[in-house]
Amino acid sequence: MMSPKITYEYERITDIKRLNFITDSLKDTIPANATILDVGCGNGVISRHLGQFGYTVLGIDVSEKTIAVARSKNTLPNVQFEVISAEALIAQGQQYDAVICSEVLEHLHQPGVLLHTIYQSLRDNGTLIVTVPNGMGPREVFVTKPMLSVRKSPGLQAFVNKVKGLLGYSGTTVQSQADNLDHVQFFTKKDLQQLAAENKFEIIRFAKTNFVEDVFPFSLLTKRVKPLQAFDCQVAEILPLACTGGFNTVWKKK
Distances 152 to 147, 149, 155, 157 between C-alpha atoms, Å: 9, 6, 9, 8
- The pTM (predicted TM-score) of the whole model is 0.90
Taking only the tens of pLDDT, the chain with its 254 residues reads: 345 688 999 999 999 999 999 999 999 899 989 999 999 999 999 999 999 999 999 999 999 999 999 999 999 999 999 999 998 998 788 899 999 999 999 999 999 999 999 999 999 999 999 999 999 999 999 988 887 776 666 666 665 566 656 555 555 556 655 556 789 999 999 999 999 999 999 999 999 999 999 998 899 899 899 999 999 999 999 999 999 999 999 999 99
Question: Cα separation of 199 and 205, whole Å?
Answer: 17
Q: At what angle do helices 189-198 and 111-121 cross, to 10 degrees?
A: 50
Asked if residue 33 lies in contact with residue 54, where contact means CB atoms within 8 angstroms, the answer is yes
Question: Cα separation of 196 and 183, whole Å?
Answer: 19
